[in-house]
Amino acid sequence: MTENMPILTRRRIEAEFAQGIFEELKAEFGEDAARRVLSAAIVKMAQATAARMAAGARGGPSLDSFRAIQHLWTAEDALRTEVLKSTPTEFHFNVTRCRYAEMYREMGLAELGAILSCNRDGAFCEGYDPKLKMERTQTLMSGAPHCDFRYRYEAEAPKDSPAD
């Protein structure tokens, strides 16, 4: 059922639920602990989702298969992106509008937006394919003019040569 639901809609439902859990955790254990627990849960969810998606990728996970699923996050104009580079080993783009960030602000969850959304991005790569690496130095959620996503697909790491 949720597989056909746009991710933006799914994130709204998750955020409503997460907000209630966060408030209870905060009251019981303090804000820092509540943030750590929520962050850890979101990371695990992102990794598990990525692993499921990777398992369904034709020919196995790759940068091409990752590129091919980007439409899931941009559906319903959820993200506006500018692709800067797209090669067999690199995929660079900027996000110039993020309705996820806008939605969290509208819900009064701006302070949790990075945990609920931005936190997933690197974790998704880890779950999708360990060779997929992401760098990002800024986000719209934190007030920057754009998010700068830089993905690279690394070849197999060379084996350490025996010591002489």
Digit-coded pLDDT (tens) for 114-129: 999 999 999 999 999 9
The secondary structure element, H or E, covering residue 53 is helix 31-55
Does residue 162 belong to any structural domain of this protein? no
The confidence score (pLDDT) of residue 2 equals: 57
CATH code at position 88: 3.30.1380
Does residue 159 belong to any structural domain of this protein? no
Confidence band for 160, pLDDT divided at 50, 70 and 90? low
DSSP string for 23-44? HHHHHHH-HHHHHHHHHHHHHH
Q: Is the pLDDT at 32 greater than 50, yes or no? A: yes
Digit-coded pLDDT (tens) for 48-67: 999 999 999 999 999 999 99
Does residue 149 belong to any structural domain of this protein? yes
